[in-house]
A and B are shown apart, each in its own frame.
Chain A
Amino acid sequence: MSNHAPAIKPADDPAFTLPATLSALSIPLCAGGLLALVGGWALGSFGVDVQFGMSAYLTAFIYCLTIALGAMFFVLIQHISRAGWSIVVRRVAELMMVMVVPMAVLFLPIVVTLWTGEGTIYKWDDPGYAEHHHIPAEVWANKTIYLESKFFAARAVIYFAIWIALAVYFFRGSVTQDETGEKKITERMQKWSAPALIILALSMSFAMFDWVMTLAPMWFSTMFGVYMFSGGILAAHCAVAAGTYLLQKNGAMRDEVTVEHYHDLGKYIFGFVFFWIYIGFSQYLLIWYGNIPEETIWYWHRQLGVWGALSLVLVFLHWILPFIGTMSRHVRRQPTLMFGWSVYILILHFIDVYWCVMPEVYEGSGGTLAAVGGGIGIVASILCAVGMAALMIGLILRIAGQTRVAASRDPRFGESLAFENI
């Protein structure tokens, strides 16, 4: 409805620029984040052992990457569906999406450890693995065609090339439009969003196979990429809601983002909470019913001790609690409550990634306290994730300081401002 659309703000309007209070946070966040990240990694590597430190690093990396890729999905979905409602919050997602560029640099330690063989977490790189695990030579020979360190690195280059190209293209288009207001840019981005989505879905799925699933070299699940996507897109919606809320509270946006936008983000969060368990349970059900040892072992590791407890935490706190919590329209129409739920789910998403990655460090450890690296290991894991997240937020603020925080000259900006749910 454009029945009472407010006037579109001119290009030189001071609105949607990052206030100085937030810009000033950029460098401290980057520096502190980097320090915490390195500290967490060092604590894990030298306090527990080298594999543990790298695993904690990988957990943090996958955590941030899934959110960045989730944000990219969000942006592409808005384009392909020609969504009007989301224009005021789309820039927040766009800012998160370009984080795949620094993420490419942060991937280097993982590939370097694999190449040097010092403390790599990918056990398929160990020549003695097959013999030690009684894997038939024929099977292992087929596995190692794909699981080979040079091919692994080459694939990583392809994934990041795709993501960086997509992020830069869609971010630059949107930012250019801030200056020119050209309608053509929107049309062009709409056109490319369809192939982009296909490529992104495939590359993300394969990246998750490569980087997370092969931590258990003999285990496989064709749904695994979708599972990681489901957590990522949920967390991305939460990050958009939380980020928008914080920007609004700090004066970068005013009343442009209304209850209606939080309501819509809340609907997506509610839906994706269920989508996450839907995919997670589907994967579990197939493996549980098939009852083939080479498949069940992954879940078996996650049913013992600490991992068993975390599995229950995921079911009850990552699904049931937020599912009930965000079910009501009244909750979704309270920006403060949606902010709270978003932060909550972002924390649970970390536990989800942690639960995927960490049990493979000491496989068959039975989930004792030693398997999580003891108290030092827990601190190191959290420090890595908090550090990397802070680094990302710092970088986002840095870029946001040079552009606007909303795509204010998008042709559908007015529609977004006037958006109503009921």
Chain B
Amino acid sequence: MSDDKNEKKVHGIVAEYTSVDTLLDACRRVRDAGYTKTDAYTPFAVHGIDKALGIKPTVLPWIVLGGGLAGLATALAMQIWMNGINYPYIISGKPYISLPAFMPVAFELTVLFASFGAFFGMWALNGLPRFSNPIFTDPRFDRVTDDRFFLYIDAKDKSFNQAGAEKLLRDTETEYINTVVDDDTSTVIPKFLITTLITVIALSFIPLLVVARMRVTTSSQPRFHIFPDMDFSPARDAQQTTSLFADNRAMRPDVPGTVARGELEEDLDYLTGIDMESLTRLDADRAKQLVRTYAQAENGEPENSDATPKTDAPAEEKSVMDTTPWLKNNPVEITKDVVLKGQEQFNIYCATCHGRDGRGNGLVNQRAQQIMASSWIPPSSMHQESLYAEQYPDGKLFNTISNGIRKMPGYAGQIKSKDRWSIVAYVRALQQSQNASLDDVPKDQQAELKAKKADVEKALAEQAEAERKKEEERAAKAAEKE
């Protein structure tokens, strides 16, 4: 049988067995004869075959361990980078880098990568994928999927010689030994396979083409929603209405008897900017009214009525404002942080009208002048004597920010009282800055300022020089023409 195949390349020798025991016995003999490039083919997993064939323990566990560690590292790095560094986002009030929250993903990726290690590692170690094996040419090999066991000795084995191997196998309990030779069937890929493959590839482009087309065209159809509850979140935004509560407000006022975080203020002086003790002596009724107003606010009712009683006549208002015993000093301890906070809040809330420099020429004012708005009352400049601390005490300024004046609305609803006091502190600093001399600046910053001043002067001088030169040139040209 093997004679007529001798011209073909010999890959190895295969022997067939009918039971596990005979196969294991043959495996041991082949192993003891010194063969290492061998393999056994069985219809099911056979315990002990590794030992019988002398197969060394696999390195696969190490690949799996490496995969697992890589998965763990990937998951942690990914989450720390995404949620902690690249896009810091507070979820459920937890820190950006919050290990317990990262654990489920870390666990899953560890398992996933370890499984990949096991699966693809097994493929790599077994030389898969492999579409054909010379042993398939053996006419009886198909029965390996049913009830036969095969032992194969590869011709590439160092100690392989055909006669010796055949003799060795013949001594085992086998009735069938065959030489495995090259597969002589055509290596040309069948046409129908190629056609199918090309069709599948072509068809697979359709979704991509559809996507590409959709991206460059417009449509009058509304987009369809795969997850409608995610596109239209039932959560309400600020200022929206809801049918959930009797008052239809989505924003809930504080629960009566509770104080929001950071809103636990010490006393009424702090909240009103008024020296309440003096006010009680001067105007007991007004003091009582104020106490009532703030007690109500604490009980969950929004602070509607102004701390300053509304009066019809402007003249009278002026007198009330003047007679009120305003706090002379800012109750908040002035530190650099407080002033910086005040600057931040001023630039957010006040600067649109009053301007960043406080001169009263913010963007809103500029626009109002531009369109000549008839009802526009220009915002005050902070830099007039009537607004300095001597004439306009800190408490009064705080009251103006809180409750507004003329066209200016009150900001008590938007800005926390502590921040309003910070703004007061910043406005004082702003006023000072306009009348300051170099001596007011700390010594260590004077040099810096001087250098800056020199730079600016130099730049101005250069500019003036350039202008002058241009002017001269123009004059010279004009003279030439004449």
Contact = CB atoms under 8 A, between A and B. Distances in A.
Interface of A: 1, 3-4, 278, 281, 284-285, 288-289, 291, 327-329, 420-422
Given A329-B61, A422-B47, A422-B48, A289 B92 contact: yes
A1 B19 CA distance: 12
Which 3 pairs, one residue from A and one from B, show the smallest C-beta to C-beta distance? A420-B47, A3-B21, A420-B48
Interface of B: 20-21, 24, 46-48, 50-51, 61, 65, 92-94, 100-101, 103-104, 107
A422 B101 CA distance: 39
Contacts of A288: 100
A285 B50 contact: no
Contacts of B46: 1
Given A281-B103, A289-B101, A291-B92, A4 B50 contact: no
Nearest to A278: B107
A323 to B, nearest CB: 11
Q: What is the interface of chain B mostly: helix, strand, loop, or mixed?
A: helix
B17 to A, nearest CB: 13
Nearest to B107: A278
B20 A3 contact: yes
A18 B107 CA distance: 45
Q: Of A3, A4, A284, which is in contact with the most chain B CB atoms at under 10 Å from its CB?
A: A3
Secondary structure type dominating chain A contacts: loop
A285 B100 contact: yes
Contacts of A285: 100-101, 103-104
Contacts of B101: 285, 289
A422 B48 CA distance: 6
A411 B107 CA distance: 41
8 contacts: A4-B21, A278-B107, A281-B100, A281-B103, A284-B100, A285-B101, A420-B47, A422-B50
B115 to A, nearest CB: 15
A289 B92 CA distance: 7
Contact of B47 (A1, A278, A329): A1
Given A3-B24, A289-B92, A420-B48, 10 more contacts: A1-B46, A278-B107, A284-B100, A288-B100, A289-B101, A327-B65, A328-B61, A420-B47, A422-B50, A422-B51
B46 to A, nearest CB: 8
Contacts of A291: 92-93
A286 to B, nearest CB: 10
A288 B65 CA distance: 30
Q: Tell me which of A1, A281, A327, A421 has the highest count of chain B C-beta atoms within 10 A of its own C-beta.
A: A1
A203 B92 CA distance: 36
A420 B92 CA distance: 51
B449 to A, nearest CB: 50
Contacts of B94: 289
B82 to A, nearest CB: 18
Nearest to B46: A1
Nearest to A281: B103
Name the residue in B47, B65, B104 with the highest tally of chain A Cβ atoms < 10 Å from its Cβ.
B47
Nearest to A285: B100
Contacts of A421: 47
A417 to B, nearest CB: 13
Contacts of A327: 65
A245 B51 CA distance: 25
A3 B17 CA distance: 15
A328 B65 CA distance: 10
A1 B20 contact: yes
B403 to A, nearest CB: 39
A73 to B, nearest CB: 24
B138 to A, nearest CB: 25
Nearest to B93: A291
A329 B101 CA distance: 32
B331 to A, nearest CB: 34
A329 B64 CA distance: 13
A253 to B, nearest CB: 22
A4 B47 CA distance: 12
Contacts of A329: 61
Contacts of A420: 47-48
Nearest to B91: A289
Contacts of B48: 1, 420, 422
Contacts of B51: 422
A3 B103 CA distance: 46
Contacts of B20: 1, 3
A289 B107 CA distance: 17
A144 B140 CA distance: 76
Nearest to B19: A3
Contacts of B100: 281, 284-285, 288-289
B33 to A, nearest CB: 22
Contacts of B24: 3
Nearest to B68: A327
A288 B104 CA distance: 13
Nearest to B50: A422
Contacts of A328: 61
B107 to A, nearest CB: 8
B29 to A, nearest CB: 17
Contacts of A281: 100, 103
A1 B92 CA distance: 56
A4 B46 CA distance: 13
A285 B47 CA distance: 42
A348 B198 CA distance: 62
